[in-house]
């Protein structure tokens, strides 16, 4: 288990039953970067990966 998996596990445990929109997630990611600007590149990479997730599936299915 990676160290970061603990945060992911906590997220799933605490909020796993909630429904959220991608707009809500984008707002929360923006808030996080406002508070922690040193992580802006990582958050940008995550957001880009999430935005293009279906593109990756399309490429693998070719």
* Region label for 41, one of left (φ > 0), alpha (ψ between -120 and 50) or beta (otherwise): alpha
43 lies in a domain?
yes
Residue 40: band (very low, low, confident or very high) from pLDDT cuts 50, 70, 90: very high
Of the candidates 5, 53, 12, 44, the residue with the CA atom closest to the CA atom of residue 26 = 44
pTM of the entire structure? 0.75
What domain count does the chain have?
1
50 lies in a domain?
yes
* Per-residue pLDDT at 61 exceeds 80: no
Give mean pLDDT, residues 22-37. Answer: 97
* Per-residue pLDDT at 34 exceeds 90: yes
Range of the domain at 59: 20-62
Helix (H, G, I), strand (E, B) or coil at 21: coil
């Amino acid at each position: 288990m990676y160290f970061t998996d603990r945060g992911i596990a906590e997220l799933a445990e605490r909020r796993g039953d909630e429904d959220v929109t991608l707009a809500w997630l984008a707002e929360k990611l923006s808030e996080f970067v406002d508070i922690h600007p040193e992580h802006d590149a990582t958050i940008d990479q995550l957001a880009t990966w999430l935005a293009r997730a279906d593109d990756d599936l399309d490429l693998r299915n070719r």
